């Protein structure tokens, strides 16, 4: 029986609101590197141990204006932890909301919370008052650290007695100033490996967000699986990622993966594609992570960009269209690493890198995970057949106040809500989200396949496909299209695109309705909100 340590949480809210144990997924610890000690504080493993090993002078965080070493980050994280304990009375288990763009003090704040045994609840900086009220209520948050430029909505959302540290302002009680008065050493909370250290909210692609609960060991597990075996980082790497730290894809790529390897991260508050490309050449970035839409936006500038330092590019957040993969490869020779992960699983669990990449395929199960394609009753389907994706590994879904736990976890498997096909070599090819499969006149049509066909047209910048009700066919394929500036599609642009799609894929799959829009509805992390398009049907 696996030995466990006693929880350090004085505030037992998260432990009391874990789903019943019988509703947890089956967890796998099938690699030597996944055998964690029962008592574990992931902040110590990611940060303290590098300084203790004599590597404190190595660079850790790089921006356009400053560089922090590992010793700098450790000292400031310790000071944040002391400030939270001394000024706010934080006890292990308290939830602390973090709000701000990707910058060094947000990272120091995340570590400060975790070191003190708190539970980090990192939020998107562009969320508004009502969204923050919802999250604060769901997670029973009583304190926050907020970039001073984003304080207004948080103050409006804060209930009575809510405590807020701002950072980056000239105020005397600003966290940066308060932290400077604190000692730079701190005794980390003696947390258990299965104490909750972070809550991550799903990004709301279907409406109200859900809070997912992750342990100290989970944070290390995503580095010791995907990062270790797919990215294979070294201390010489400089990571960069565009997603906010509130997005677990961004947290992994910008904090957990580089620090687990003793590497460094470049942080950019406003990561527009052109600025990212400039930063690659200026700073020598070696590992880049961003969303498919950003890669597509970069394509026209890739040929002239200085990319010689890049050795790995990661795409996640939504499926990477094969046309985008090929456009990037044709422009600069880079083989983008695709991957599927989820907030519930914390990070990527299917991927492939280098010569193992098969364009159009997501990849194979990452070491440490197993995956299969199942029928609705949970039985594996033969290779080549459609089915639901099911996954097990060292991480898994635990919803806070798990009212939807039984939907995501079934018979020990995490059911991601994605429709996939696996081939005989174990490669998984994405078809659609389960609720994006369109049944029209008896045909099963995957919306992403139609999107892919539309994106091959040179005049199309973005495309989203949903099912729309139809009396005759039950549903029809409806596309919402954003055209490139200056695109010329003739007097009947919808018919032009319909005919083009018919030339690319089976004609019965073509979009019978096409709307044109200036932009597509997306979450703060860039994920497409198809439910908003369906509501307009």
The pLDDT tens digits of the residues spanning 130-157 come to 889 989 999 999 999 999 999 999 999 9
The pLDDT tens digits of the residues spanning 341-369 come to 999 999 999 999 999 999 999 999 999 99
Q: Which residue has the tokens 């104490």?
A: 195
The pLDDT tens digits of the residues spanning 452-475 come to 899 999 999 999 999 888 877 778
- Which tokens hold the place of 486? 């200056």
Which stretch of 84-98, 377-391, 466-480, 489-503 has the lowest confidence by average pLDDT?
A: 466-480
Single out the residue of 352, 386, 383, 354 nearest to residue 369, CA to CA.
352
pLDDT for residue 292: 87
Q: Greater confidence, 296 or 524? A: 296
Count of C-beta atoms within a 10 Å radius of residue 187: 9
Q: Is the pLDDT of residue 27 over 80?
A: yes
Count of C-beta atoms within a 10 Å radius of residue 424: 8
Per the CB < 8 A criterion, the answer to whether 467 and 534 are in contact is yes
- 3-state helix, strand and coil shares in percent for the chain, rounded to the nearest 5: 35, 25, 40
Q: What's the rounded Cα separation, in Å, for the pair 505 and 450?
A: 8
pLDDT for residue 515: 95
Q: What's the rounded Cα separation, in Å, for the pair 399 and 148?
A: 31
Per the CB < 8 A criterion, the answer to whether 409 and 396 are in contact is yes
- Domain 441-535: CATH superfamily, name plus number: ANL, C-terminal domain (3.30.300.30)
Cα angle, residue 488 at apex, residues 482 and 493 outer, rounded to 5°: 65
Pair type for strands 413-422 and 437-440 = unpaired
DSSP label at residue 286 = -
Measured in whole angstroms, the distance separating CA 444 from the mean position of its chain's CA atoms is 29
Return the SS3 of 235: coil
Q: What's the rounded Cα separation, in Å, for the pair 59 and 68?
A: 6
Q: What's the rounded Cα separation, in Å, for the pair 481 and 459?
A: 10
Single out the residue of 439, 434, 431, 391 nearest to residue 415, CA to CA.
391
Per the CB < 8 A criterion, the answer to whether 351 and 324 are in contact is no
Tell me the pTM: 0.85
pLDDT for residue 471: 78
The pLDDT tens digits of the residues spanning 416-434 come to 989 999 999 999 999 877 7
The pLDDT tens digits of the residues spanning 168-206 come to 999 999 999 999 999 999 999 999 999 999 999 986 544
- What residue ranges do the domains of the chain occupy? 441-535
Question: What percentage of the chain carries pLDDT values higher than 90?
Answer: 81
């Amino acid at each position: 029986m696996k030995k466990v340590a006693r929880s350090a949480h004085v505030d037992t809210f998260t432990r009391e609101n874990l789903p019943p144990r019988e509703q947890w997924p089956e967890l796998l610890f099938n690699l030597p590197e996944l055998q964690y000690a029962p008592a574990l504080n992931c902040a110590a493993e990611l940060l303290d141990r590098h300084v203790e090993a004599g590597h404190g002078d190595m660079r850790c965080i790089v921006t356009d204006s400053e560089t922090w070493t590992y010793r700098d980050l450790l000292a400031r994280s310790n000071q944040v932890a002391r400030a939270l304990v001394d000024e706010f009375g934080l006890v292990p288990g308290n939830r602390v909301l973090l709000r701000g763009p990707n910058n060094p003090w947000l990272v120091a704040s995340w570590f400060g919370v975790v070191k003190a045994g708190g539970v980090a609840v990192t939020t998107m900086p562009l969320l508004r008052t009502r969204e923050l009220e919802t999250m604060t209520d769901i997670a029973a948050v009583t304190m926050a650290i907020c970039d001073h430029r984003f304080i207004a909505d948080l103050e409006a959302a804060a209930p009575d007695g809510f405590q807020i540290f701002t950072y980056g302002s000239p105020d005397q009680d600003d966290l940066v100033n308060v932290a400077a008065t604190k000692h730079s050493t701190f005794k980390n909370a003696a947390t258990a490996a299965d104490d909750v250290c972070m809550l991550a909210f799903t990004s709301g692609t279907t409406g109200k967000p859900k809070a997912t609960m992750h342990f100290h060991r989970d944070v290390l597990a995503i580095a010791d699986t995907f990062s270790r075996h797919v990215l294979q980082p070294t201390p010489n790497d400089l990571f960069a990622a565009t997603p906010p730290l509130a997005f677990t894809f961004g947290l992994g790529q910008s904090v957990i993966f580089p620090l687990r390897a003793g590497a460094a991260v470049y942080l950019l508050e406003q990561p527009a594609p052109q600025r990212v490309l400039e930063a690659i050449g200026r700073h020598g970035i070696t590992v880049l992570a961003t969303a498919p839409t950003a890669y597509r936006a970069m394509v026209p500038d890739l040929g002239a960009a200085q990319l010689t330092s890049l050795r790995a590019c990661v795409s996640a957040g939504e499926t990477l269209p094969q046309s985008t993969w090929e456009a990037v490869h044709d422009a600069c020779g880079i083989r983008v690493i695709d991957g599927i992960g989820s907030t519930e699983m914390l990070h990527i669990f299917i991927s492939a890198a280098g010569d193992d990449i098969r364009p159009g395929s997501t990849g194979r199960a990452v070491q440490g995970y197993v995956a299969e394609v199942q029928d609705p009753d949970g039985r594996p389907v033969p290779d080549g057949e459609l089915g639901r994706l099911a996954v097990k590994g060292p991480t898994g879904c635990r919803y806070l106040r798990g009212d939807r736990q039984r939907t995501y976890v079934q018979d020990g498997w995490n059911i991601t809500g994605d429709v996939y096909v696996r081939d005989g070599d174990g490669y998984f090819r994405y078809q659609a989200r389960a609720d994006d499969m369109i049944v029209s006149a008896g045909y099963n049509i995957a919306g992403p396949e139609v999107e892919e066909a539309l994106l091959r047209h040179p005049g199309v910048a973005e495309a989203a496909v949903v099912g729309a009700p139809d009396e005759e066919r039950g549903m029809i394929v409806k596309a919402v299209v954003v055209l490139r500036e200056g695109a010329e599609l003739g007097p009947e642009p919808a018919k032009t695109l319909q005919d083009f799609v018919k030339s690319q894929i089976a004609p019965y799959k073509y979009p019978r309705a096409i709307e044109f829009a200036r932009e597509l509805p997306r979450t703060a992390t860039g994920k497409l909100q198809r439910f908003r398009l369906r509501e307009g049907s």
